[in-house]
């Protein structure tokens, strides 16, 4: 069997169907105390044991909104809960801390009812006061590094949160807000009784310094399935079962099943794989590049499971150019659409999908995951790989080749620029090598600059690059990615000169290109509509503008892949979805 056929069959062998929503509802009623989706379970688990996972870098803080740090978030997502989240199979909203919700006919008032009986891990009752504190004092606080103000604002006016009673609150918007429920999924809910004393609005700097990683773990309380127990810097984070965990499986048994959850800090993905194969890790994140070898081991009898499936959330890599790079010649060309089109023709997506991801990727969307409601098909604008057409466009810009084959800038200097990428990411390193080789063939010198994956975002948003390979995860509603794709957003890193001045929310429109102004206006209009079809019409226009003007060049959309030991229960795939959570997995006998 050849590799492509093997991978295709492996990726499609994903098991049986799932419980329908109706069956899930009946299952909850029969179980009495059951309160998590039944489709997370293949079987009822048993309690005990330790789940050991890798963590790719040292967490910067236990203060969720003080840092933008996916490694810290990986740990903290076990400690804190959100109001609601997307179902892993249907991608429809299901309640977490929220039990139910309703939206008024004018789409301006959302009423949310919270689950009763939930306690923080220190025994303090969870109430609507915690929700209001989180959203009004912390998540919407623009002076905190990881604030969510962009999704909590409509037409420049912050959402208003009102307490109805201890278990009910309202969200009121100045205009209809079609993405309000999605916006409420973004922020974990924090304990008011622990954090209000630090006055995040009056002293954001002081608030950002609390809950550093040397904080006594007993001070960090949550409603999630686990709580922090200890942290050994650069080595290990240990969590234990939350004694007040409120989750129950379909038979009403308390969750999580595991007693302990340990994260071993292992920066090198290859070492993570080696530790997994040695049995020292129960589960490991993998890429399409690592899928074939591990899948062959599974097929050959190794006691592991290697899964593949589709998801919204995988992060499609893109190639960004610094529109504000200090070098004036590079700045002129990076801002030139013809130059960016030339670079797009030099991207061999077919080879990247086949060789880097082993066929476990598809052509990307422009800011929206393919196959979702919001997706507008822009594949025709990706173009075909053609070094000849790329060279022709560079010629048309006057970037001619010298006798040494290198293209020259108008000053006579060689056309060369840095390409920053995560050297500890196997796919990123492979993509960088392919681009460097192909650009060399058309006289463009790409100087590879590898850095750690954990520093990539800060490098981009700090403007410390010439060109960069980045990736942002897709979300189910474009409004949730406003900070990235609306010019002036704090993650719209390629054109920082349009960012608002400190203390202002107004971007610098005089520095925007006309197409950027159009995109900014689309996001402004779409966030004020309650009609989802009208919002989609606007976001379709945005995706088209994106594809036509290439603020960044999209590369590919990876398929979701994961590997876990066969001893893990409730680690499985259904309906082309990978299903697992740290609270529903267990160690089989």
96 and 161 part of one domain: yes
- For the record, the structure tokens of 240 come out as 């234990």
Can you list the pairs that 537-542 forms with residues at least 24 positions away whose Cβ atoms lie under 8 Å?
539/368, 539/374, 539/376, 539/478, 540/376, 542/367, 542/478, 542/485
551 and 449 part of one domain: yes
CA pair distance 523, 485, nearest whole angstrom = 9
- For the record, the structure tokens of 287 come out as 């890429």
Cβ-based neighbours of 175, under 8 Å, separated by 6 or more: 108, 154, 155, 157, 527, 528
Task: State mean pLDDT over 40-61.
Answer: 96
302 and 400 part of one domain: no
DSSP helix/strand/coil, 4: helix
CA pair distance 298, 303, nearest whole angstrom = 7
CA pair distance 177, 50, nearest whole angstrom = 43
477 and 397 part of one domain: yes
In total, how many domains does the chain have? 3
Instruction: Say which residue, 210 or 91, is predicted with more confidence.
Output: 210
Sheet holding 560-565, edge to edge: 283-285, 560-565, 304-309
Cβ-based neighbours of 483, under 8 Å, separated by 6 or more: 150, 151, 489, 490, 491, 492
pLDDT at 87: 87
- For the record, the structure tokens of 102 come out as 């309703």
**Is residue 28 over pLDDT 50?**
no
176 and 139 part of one domain: yes
Considering only the C-alpha atoms of the chain, give the largest distance between any 2 of them, rounded to a whole number of Å: 79
Buried/exposed code over 231-268 (b: 16+ C-beta within 10 A; e: otherwise): beeeeebbbbbbebbbbbbbeebbbbbbebbbbbbbbe
* CB-count exposure of residue 176 (10 Å: 0-12, 13-18, 19+): buried
What is the residue range of 474's domain? 317-558
405 and 511 part of one domain: yes
Q: List pLDDT tens digits, range 160-216.
A: 999 999 999 999 999 999 889 989 998 999 999 999 999 999 999 999 999 999 999
φ/ψ (deg, to 5) at 458: -65, -35
294 and 173 part of one domain: no
What single DSSP character describes residue 134? Answer: I
Alpha helical stretches, state H, 304-352: 328-334, 337-345, 349-351
479 and 362 part of one domain: yes
Q: In the listed set 175, 209, 243, which residue is the last one of a domain according to the structure? A: 209
Cβ-based neighbours of 13, under 8 Å, separated by 6 or more: none
CATH number (domain holding residue 188): 3.90.76.10
514 and 575 part of one domain: no
Instruction: Say which residue, 19 or 460, is predicted with more confidence.
Output: 460
569 and 551 part of one domain: no
Q: Give the chain's radius of gyration (CA, Å).
A: 24
**Is residue 435 over pLDDT 90?**
yes
Closest C-alpha to 330, from 407, 401, 428, 382: 407
299 and 321 part of one domain: no
CATH number (domain holding residue 260): 3.40.190.10
- For the record, the structure tokens of 147 come out as 């604030």
304 and 352 part of one domain: no
**Is residue 17 over pLDDT 70?**
no
Residue 585 contacts residue 567 (beta carbons within 8 Å): no
DSSP helix/strand/coil, 293: helix
pLDDT at 130: 98
Q: In the listed set 209, 241, 263, which residue is the last one of a domain according to the structure? A: 209
H/E stretch holding 229: strand 226-232
């Amino acid at each position: 069997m050849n590799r492509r056929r093997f991978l295709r069959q492996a990726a499609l062998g994903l098991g049986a169907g799932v419980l329908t929503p109706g069956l899930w509802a009946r299952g909850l009623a029969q179980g009495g105390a059951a309160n998590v989706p039944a489709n997370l379970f293949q079987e009822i688990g048993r309690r005990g044991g330790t789940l050991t996972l890798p963590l790719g870098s040292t967490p910067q803080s236990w203060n969720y909104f003080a840092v933008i740090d996916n490694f810290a978030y990986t740990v903290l997502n076990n400690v804190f809960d959100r109001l609601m989240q997307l179902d892993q199979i249907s991608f429809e909203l299901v309640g977490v801390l929220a039990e139910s919700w309703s939206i008024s006919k004018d789409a301006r008032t959302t009423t949310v009812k919270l689950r009763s009986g939930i306690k923080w891990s220190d025994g303090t009752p969870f109430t609507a006061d915690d929700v209001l504190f989180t959203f009004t004092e912390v998540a919407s606080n623009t002076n905190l590094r990881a604030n969510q103000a962009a999704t909590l604002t409509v037409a420049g006016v912050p959402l208003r949160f009102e307490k109805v009673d201890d278990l009910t609150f309202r969200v009121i918007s100045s205009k209809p807000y079609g993405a309000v429920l999605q916006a409420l999924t973004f922020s974990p809910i924090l304990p008011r009784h622990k954090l209000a004393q630090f006055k995040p609005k009056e002293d954001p700097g002081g608030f950002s310094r609390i809950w550093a990683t040397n904080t006594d773990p007993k001070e960090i309380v949550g409603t999630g399935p686990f709580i922090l127990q200890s942290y050994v810097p650069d080595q290990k984070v240990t969590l234990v079962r939350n004694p007040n965990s409120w989750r129950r499986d379909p038979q009403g048994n308390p969750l999580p099943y595991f007693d302990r959850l340990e994260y071993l800090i292992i920066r090198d993905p290859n070492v993570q794989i080696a530790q997994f194969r040695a049995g020292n890790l129960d589960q490991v994140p993998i890429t399409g590049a690592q899928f074939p070898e591990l899948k062959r081991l599974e097929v050959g009898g190794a006691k592991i499971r290697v899964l593949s499936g589709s998801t919204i959330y995988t992060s499609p890599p893109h190639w960004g150019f610094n529109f504000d790079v200090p070098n004036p010649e590079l700045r002129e060309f990076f801002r030139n659409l013809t130059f960016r089109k030339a670079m797009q023709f030099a991207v061999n997506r077919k080879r990247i999908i086949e060789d880097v991801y082993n066929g476990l990727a598809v052509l990307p969307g422009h800011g929206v995951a393919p196959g979702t409601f919001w997706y507008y098909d822009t594949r025709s604008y990706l173009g075909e790989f053609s070094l000849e057409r790329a060279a022709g466009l560079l010629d048309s810009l006057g970037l001619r080749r010298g006798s040494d084959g290198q293209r020259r800038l108008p000053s006579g200097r060689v056309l060369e620029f840095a390409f920053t990428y995560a050297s500890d990411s196997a796919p990123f390193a492979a993509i960088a090598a392919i681009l460097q080789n192909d650009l060399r063939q058309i006289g463009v010198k790409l100087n590879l600059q590898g850095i750690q994956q954990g520093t990539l975002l800060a490098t981009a948003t700090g403007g410390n690059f010439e060109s960069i390979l980045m990736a942002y995860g897709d979300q189910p509603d474009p409004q949730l990615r406003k900070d990235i794709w609306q010019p002036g957003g704090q993650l719209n890193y390629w054109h920082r000169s349009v960012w608002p001045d400190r203390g202002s929310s107004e971007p610098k429109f005089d520095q925007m290109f006309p197409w950027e102004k159009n995109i900014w206006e689309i996001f402004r209009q779409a966030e004020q509509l309650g009609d989802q079809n009208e919002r989609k019409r606007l976001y379709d226009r945005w995706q088209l503008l994106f594809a036509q003007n290439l603020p960044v060049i999209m590369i590919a959309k990876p398929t979701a892949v994961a590997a876990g030991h066969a001893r893990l229960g409730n680690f499985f795939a259904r309906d082309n979805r990978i299903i697992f959570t740290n609270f529903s997995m267990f160690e089989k006998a």
